Structure 1
Amino acid sequence: MTKEVYITDYNCVTPLGFDVQSNWKALLEGKSGVASHTIMENHEAFYVSKIDSEKLNSEFNQSFNELQNGDSGFTRLEKMFLLSLKPLIERQNISEETVLILSTTKGNISLLKNQAALPGAVYLFHLARKIAGFFGFKTKPIVISNACVSGVMAIAVAKNMIQAGRYKDAFVIAGDEISEFVISGFNSFQAIATGPCRPYDKNRNGINLGEATAAAYITSELNQTVKFKFKISGDSAINDANHISGPSRTGDGLYASIKNAMKEANVSAEQIDFISAHGTATLYNDEMEAIAFNRMELQNVPLHSMKGYYGHCLGASGLLESIISMESAVNNILIPSKNFKEPGTSQLLNIITENQPADIRYILKTASGFGGCNAAIVLENIKMTS
């Protein structure tokens, strides 16, 4: 019999707050972290979702006052990771069979500009080992870096590793920060929006970049302190090999990912209660998703994109958006897809336009990214009995 694997705890650090509760409150009020910021010298301001560095340092100093000056040589991104993971570490035990899985696309890429940085500090495995070492993990960490599907894939990797008996449980962390490297890359594609992004809307014209970190605890062994649990019922990742940056026009990779994940979860389209989609607000991504969802007969399922609230947080997006989805299920409320007004895809979707009550059992979370990568997971809300 296949071992069942659950998400039983999570946390996040975003421009809307440094814990899940503050993020959820802000989302219910329709607040967005997206605003006009000047990020680079000699570059005009543009719309991004950025964490206030002063607030970040203050929160870090308070949470890690055992460190000299609350710093001890951590980068800005590392501080975000430590803040997101610490509450989970305090509530769980790290054993000889616990693994840390890091999801990120660029990690400490900003260190390339720092000539005084330690050689190799920019490498992703170095970042993973530094965080694992700080919290005392006894196994080697795993790095998942597959463009913008990294966060969703990290959940899937944790599930599959636990089911294979490699580990007993896992802490998954995901994060990226806004950097000149990332800005330059998306500028080269002319993919950055001129205002707040509008996923699936007729007048969408590109993405807003964002930054965040998120953390989740994944296990097959439940204890009496568990307040909620979400079974990772199915997962799949398919590369459509379409283009180095452009999504498939037919949605083949995403369609196959969803189909495989739902088949493993043994659920039909009628059983999916809610879709947390990728929804970058670029012309071709949103169109591709609409085609894939319609091919799977999911066009009537309530759907949203969180990019209007958080921007595109790269390696953090899949895990962060999964966390918000689970919080929606816990609170029985669906959050609208911000800035959506008029359908802008060739095939219609059931876009959520206002806060609405819902009984959510099965969640479909999808992601797509550069290089033709696509991923999907099905999360089942296991109702807790009092």
Structure 2
Amino acid sequence: MKKLYLHDDCIISPLGFTTSKNLENLRSGTTGLQKLNKNDFLDTPICAGIVNSEILTETFAEIGNPQDFTKLEQMMLLAVQGVLDKNPELDLDKTGLIISTTKGNVHLLDDLADFKKERLFLSNLGNIVKDFFGFKLKPIVVSNACISGGLALAVAKKMINAGKFSEAIVVGGDMLSKFVVSGFNSFQALSENDCKPFSKDRTGINLGEAAAAILVSDLPKKNSVNISLVGDASANDANHISGPSRTGEGLYKSIQNSLKEAQISSEAIKAISTHGTATLYNDEMEAIAISRSELGEIPLHSVKGYYGHTLGASALIEAILCKHMMLNREIYPSLNFTENGVSAKINVVTAYQKSINLDYVLKTASGFGGCNLAMIFKKEGENG
């Protein structure tokens, strides 16, 4: 089976419109969350990661007319442009395009403005990206709750192994809307303050909006250290439409099957990028699955304290961050952690760490409907 190599990427978020700016803020522990006492989503205050619309519009105007595209489309197109700028030789006639999102342009249900109703369809979102840049192959849209961004990478790997293409751009994104915010609020899952993943005093999630894109290929870059996706697996725990398994069974199976595909034991894993939403049940489930996998001593973090939960973009952004952690030999802190609030023992990173060799990193994700995903990334071309 061919490996999937992670190449150039671009993150568009409240922390910045380039990956390098995002990394700078992650290292310094700077959050992109803000408390919104007055907001367009609920009658009560929320804490969320919001992309500044004015700055986004000004930036997007350099590549297109902002009036022709929704906020989500602008973020996703800018992310793809950031990748293409680094790869001007890329043949878009042969390059695959995989889109990850949970809700797409669902905000248009409230007001279509000057857009046609077809803009609501996820398939249309794929075509927007395809047509803007001139991709020739039909885009693939992945929408499986909050594992979508990571699952899109797994789909890219499978499509490359099936011979559909040898290179692809994976782009994920979601934005805040009344539909999304009110939905999470109905579960009483939102926190008015900055979220605290895995902490005893956690009070719920913060939502966020962001987009990210990455170029993937079946070939590594020559004379360079490379990061590859060597194991991935997804399992559904079939527990509840919104509540995760109490035993972590689906995520546990995902981790075990990804280890099997990567042909390594749990002892090889050097760090874990968790889903870490800061809800009572998700954090507990994830900690149990990690402990059952004999990974309780391994350093782990959640980046939800920086971004909030960016839904269909989250697992893709976090996979990109795994890549840079491995290349830069660093681990970013898990913001706002106070005291362990889960029943299983876990090792939460609370301060920026550097000069750490990360041969293998595990990325986990979970979502509504009982879906779970585990991915294992490997560093190649460097010893020690």
Do residues 237 (structure 1) and 231 (structure 2) align? Answer: no
Identity over the aligned pairs, expressed in percent? 46
State the 1:10 CA deviation.
1.1
Q: Which amino acid aligns with 1:326?
A: K
Task: Say whether the 8 Å CA contact 1:176–1:313 is kept in structure 2.
Answer: yes
TM-score, normalising length: structure 1: 0.95
State the 1:324 CA deviation.
1.3
Give CA-to-partner distance per residue, 1:140-185, whole Å, 9 cap, x none. Answer: 0000000000011001000111011111111000010011100110
Do residues 45 (structure 1) and 40 (structure 2) align? Answer: no
Out of 368-377 and 81-90, give the one that drifted further: 81-90
Task: Say whether the 8 Å CA contact 1:100–1:171 is kept in structure 2.
Answer: yes
C-alpha separation in 2, matches of 1:324 and 1:42: 31
Task: Say whether the 8 Å CA contact 1:8–1:228 is kept in structure 2.
Answer: no
Instruction: Give the match for residue 66 of structure 2.
Output: 71
State the 1:278 CA deviation.
0.2
Do residues 88 (structure 1) and 83 (structure 2) align? Answer: yes
C-alpha separation in 1, matches of 2:242 and 2:41: 27
Do residues 286 (structure 1) and 261 (structure 2) align? Answer: no
C-alpha separation in 1, matches of 2:42 and 2:230: 49
Q: Which amino acid aligns with 2:345?
A: L
Give CA-to-partner distance per residue, 1:20-56, whole Å, 9 cap, x none. Answer: 1111111111100111123227713310011111111
Instruction: Give the match for residue 268 of structure 1.
Output: 265
Do residues 300 (structure 1) and 297 (structure 2) align? Answer: yes
Q: Which amino acid aligns with 2:217?
A: T
Instruction: Give the match for residue 115 of structure 2.
Output: 117
Give CA-to-partner distance per residue, 1:272-311, whole Å, 9 cap, x none. Answer: 0110000000000000011101111010110000000100
C-alpha separation in 2, matches of 1:165 and 1:74: 33
Q: 1:41 to 1:296 in 2, by over 3 A?
A: closer
Do residues 60 (structure 1) and 55 (structure 2) align? Answer: no
Task: Say whether the 8 Å CA contact 1:104–1:315 is kept in structure 2.
Answer: yes
C-alpha separation in 2, matches of 1:130 and 1:152: 21
Q: 1:165 to 1:299 in 2, by over 3 A?
A: same
Task: Say whether the 8 Å CA contact 1:8–1:227 is kept in structure 2.
Answer: no
Task: Say whether the 8 Å CA contact 2:6–2:323 is kept in structure 1.
Answer: no
Secondary structure of the structure 1 residue equivalent to 2:119:
coil
Q: 1:123 to 1:228 in 2, by over 3 A?
A: farther
State the 1:262 CA deviation.
0.8
Task: Say whether the 8 Å CA contact 2:171–2:211 is kept in structure 1.
Answer: yes
What root-mean-square deviation, in Å, do the aligned CA atoms of Structure 1 and Structure 2 show? 1.5
Task: Say whether the 8 Å CA contact 2:27–2:333 is kept in structure 1.
Answer: no
Instruction: Give the match for residue 10 of structure 1.
Output: 9
Pairing of 1:114-263 with structure 2 (within 5 A):
114-115=111-112, 116-224=114-222, 228-263=225-260
Secondary structure of the structure 2 residue equivalent to 1:254:
helix
After the TM superposition, list the runs of 4 or more consecutive aligned residues in structure 1 that deviate by more than 6 angstroms: none
Task: Say whether the 8 Å CA contact 1:46–1:194 is kept in structure 2.
Answer: yes
Secondary structure of the structure 1 residue equivalent to 2:200:
coil
Do residues 382 (structure 1) and 380 (structure 2) align? Answer: yes
Do residues 23 (structure 1) and 22 (structure 2) align? Answer: yes
State how many pairs are aligned: 378
TM-score, normalising length: structure 2: 0.95
C-alpha separation in 1, matches of 2:42 and 2:189: 20
Q: 1:207 to 1:366 in 2, by over 3 A?
A: same
State the 1:228 CA deviation.
4.6
Question: Unpaired runs of 5+ in structure 2?
Answer: none
Give CA-to-partner distance per residue, 1:228-285, whole Å, 9 cap, x none. Answer: 5211101111011100000000000000001001110011111101100000000000
Q: 1:51 to 1:245 in 2, by over 3 A?
A: same
C-alpha separation in 2, matches of 1:196 and 1:280: 11
